[in-house]
Amino acid sequence: MPTAKVGQILRRADVILQDSNVRWPLSELQDWLNDAYRAIVMQRPDANMLSGYYTCTAGESQQQLNKTSGGFPTALRLRAVIRNNEAGNKRAIRLIQQSVLDDQRPNWHAETTATTGQPIQHYIYDPLNPKYFYLYPAPAIALSIQLVYSSVPDAHALSEAQLVDEITTPATVIKLDDIYVNPILDYVLYRAYAKDSEYAANAQRAQAHFQSYSTALGAGVQADTATTPQDDSRSSGSHGAN
């Protein structure tokens, strides 16, 4: 759960810029913080991974993740379809290759047999078409299913960037985990110095902050890979339970 405040990050940026919001107004810094969210989530979709309940479009095998009604309008891409979410029906929904259904059930798009008593069994997803997925069998009614998806955080309003009293006054916190504070700050500074990049020193500073931002995100990927839970039984030399 994030605890770092928007105003704190922007104040840190202003201190480093030594500007007092003259050359770089608070409104610009706040815009760049919002841009940082979009840039980070584009590179690290897991930075804002959410779980929610999606209402299926009845009678259709194809489903739109970011539909306005029953979907997630700010969603960027699907991560997984987890399960059915109907009373008495929490059956898991498993990923399947489209070629399997195409070969075995060529008319599967027309099989709208999933109802309250007949759960959805499989989903199909193409990462090159990230906001759409397919369900089998197609829901005959507007069933509810649980999804995991990546989304861009809503932008902060300018009032949320102002920090009156960081000790006693509640202030808006950032919308990504606190581990992204430094990349957010570096991105804001990169954009600030890039504004005056006609000066050689500022161009160098902009590049340095962008490099720090990129390095931090890359290091995060490596750390996640190293600490992801693994099935030890698949590793070489492992032994089954006695």
- Weakly modelled stretches of the chain, pLDDT under 70: 114-117, 163-170, 197-198, 219-242
Q: Cα separation of 154 and 133, whole Å?
A: 24
Per-residue model confidence (pLDDT) at position 88: 85
Q: Cα separation of 111 and 116, whole Å?
A: 15
Q: How far is CA 181 from CA 3, 99, 158, 163, 184, in A?
A: 10, 43, 19, 16, 5
187, 32 in Cβ contact below 8 A?
Answer: yes
Residue whose tokens read 């940082």: 36
Which residues on adjacent β-strands are paired with residue 202? Answer: none
- Per residue, the 3-state secondary structure of the chain, as one string, reads CCCCEHHHHHHHHHHHHCCCCCCCCHHHHHHHHHHHHHHHHHHCHHHHEEEEEEECCCCCCEEECCCCCCCCCCEEEEEEEEEECECCECCECEECCHHHHHHHCCCHHHCCCEECCECCCEEEECCCCCCEEEEECCECCCCEEEEEEEECCCCCCHHHHCCCCCCCCCCCECCCCHHHHHHHHHHHHHHHHHHCCCCHHHHHHHHHHHHHHHHHHHHHHHHHHHHCCCCHHHCCCCCCCC
Which residues on adjacent β-strands are paired with residue 150? Answer: 49, 77
Per-residue model confidence (pLDDT) at position 232: 56
Longest dimension (CA), the chain: 70
- Which tokens hold the place of 211? 């490099």
pTM over 0.85: no
Per-residue model confidence (pLDDT) at position 242: 44
Per-residue model confidence (pLDDT) at position 19: 86
Which amino acid is residue 127, in one-letter code? Answer: P
110, 33 in Cβ contact below 8 A?
Answer: no
Per-residue model confidence (pLDDT) at position 238: 45
CA triple 94-97-100, angle to 5 deg: 110
Per-residue model confidence (pLDDT) at position 230: 52
Per-residue model confidence (pLDDT) at position 115: 65
Give the distance, in angstroms, between the CA of residue 41 and the centroid of all CA atoms in the same chain.
Answer: 5
